[in-house]
Structure 1
Amino acid sequence: MADANTDPRDLKTDLWKKMSTSPFVMVGPADGSTHSEPLTAQLDEDQVDTLFFFIGKDNRVAGKDKLMLQFVSKGHDYFACLSGRGQIANDRAQIDKLWNNQVEAWFPGGKEDPNLALLRVDIDSAELWETDMSLGGKLKMLFGGTIRSDEAGSHAKVGTTAENSPA
């Protein structure tokens, strides 16, 4: 995230790269009716504005339309808050594309497990923060002190980059 003039597609691509190394996301209903829970995002590089999650049909977010998702990178230097529309989309081709050994560990019945549901979340908007602080800024944060804005990192707000929606 260089600055406010960065292309939203570049920001989303950067987010997806970071999520690919640590795809754990807190997901909950946007209305706050229940707590968020950790889910593992299944990333489809062909759909940069969509996240997929294999969940149980009885999962607390299975029937929720509006969702809020929070992501923190492995190095704790990148943060994202995403909002989107959720729906169960048990498309067999998409399930086959995203299926892996980790998913199978949660669903002993495999792709035919009667409790299996594929949650599709179409991202409507995102706020992204990246802390790319200088060594001096990191020391101030560690030991206390005032951090100047040029030491703090960057922040961006991004709408969807889906081709059928305005960016």
Structure 2
Amino acid sequence: MADKDTPQEVANKFLAKLKDSPFIMLGLTDGQHSEPMNVKLDDDQPNTLFVFSGKDNRIAQGGDAMAQFVGKGHDFFACLAGTVSQETDQATFDKLWDNRVEAWFPNGKADARLNRFDVTSAELWETDISLSGRVKMLFGGTIKAGESSSHAVVDSVA
């Protein structure tokens, strides 16, 4: 059952879910609201999520940030803490640029900024309810910890 997963196994599930649905809510911890962002992953840079934005976007100033993720099936949740900064490596910029990104920037790469979100810690929840837990949800009853989900607090996600 899911409650036997190690923190690293839960982190690996998170990365798989993020690849399947690469959208997070990302915001600086400066009191402004988070906003939806499309995540790009670079397997060569673990614990880093990349997002393209406009140069005047609210996250462009960089700083401490939080991101939230909900899996497609509402079966996985994540809250990530870290720091946003500009990615200055042109090779990384070019590697992650694609048609889906280009659609948001009418003037192409000249209007875009690649931001890196370096994850320092994460809290992850997998809500894989067992069959007995689902029956209890339908007909009443208390779901026990072993019937519900996995939870992991990790210092990295890679």
> Could you tell me the TM-score, scaled by structure 1's length?
0.85
What is the match of residue 73 of structure 2? 75
What is the match of residue 53 of structure 1? 51
Deviation of 1:72 after TM superposition, in Å, equals 0.7
Deviation of 1:138 after TM superposition, in Å, equals 2.5
Deviation of 1:21 after TM superposition, in Å, equals 0.6
What is the match of residue 63 of structure 2? 65
For CA contacts below 8 A with separation 6 or more, give which structure has more relative contact order: 2
> Could you tell me the TM-score, scaled by structure 2's length?
0.89
Aligned pairs for 1:32-43 within 5 A: 33-43=31-41
How has the CA–CA distance of structure 1 residues 161 and 71 changed in structure 2, closer, same or farther, with 3 Å as cutoff?
A: closer
Work out the CA distance in 2 between the residues paired with 1:102 and 1:131: 30
What is the match of residue 151 of structure 1? 147
How many residues are paired up? 157
How has the CA–CA distance of structure 1 residues 161 and 77 changed in structure 2, closer, same or farther, with 3 Å as cutoff?
A: closer
Work out the CA distance in 1 between the residues paired with 2:11 and 2:154: 8
- Kept after mapping to 1: 8 A contact 2:50/2:114: yes
**Matched residue SS, 1:106:** coil
What is the match of residue 29 of structure 2? 30
Work out the CA distance in 1 between the residues paired with 2:140 and 2:81: 33
Deviation of 1:37 after TM superposition, in Å, equals 0.6
Structure 1 regions of 5+ residues with no counterpart? Answer: 163-167
Q: Does 1:122 align with 2:121?
A: no
Deviation of 1:142 after TM superposition, in Å, equals 5.1
Work out the CA distance in 2 between the residues paired with 1:64 and 1:143: 49
Q: Which of the residues 132, 135, 140 maps onto 2:136?
A: 140
Work out the CA distance in 2 between the residues paired with 1:70 and 1:155: 15
CA-based RMSD of the aligned residues comes to: 2.0
- Kept after mapping to 2: 8 A contact 1:90/1:117: no
Deviation of 1:143 after TM superposition, in Å, equals 5.8
How has the CA–CA distance of structure 1 residues 141 and 37 changed in structure 2, closer, same or farther, with 3 Å as cutoff?
A: farther
How has the CA–CA distance of structure 1 residues 117 and 24 changed in structure 2, closer, same or farther, with 3 Å as cutoff?
A: same
Work out the CA distance in 2 between the residues paired with 1:52 and 1:126: 16
- Kept after mapping to 2: 8 A contact 1:13/1:48: no
**Cα offsets for 1:58-84 (capped at 9, x unmatched):** 111111310100001111101110001
- Kept after mapping to 1: 8 A contact 2:11/2:124: no
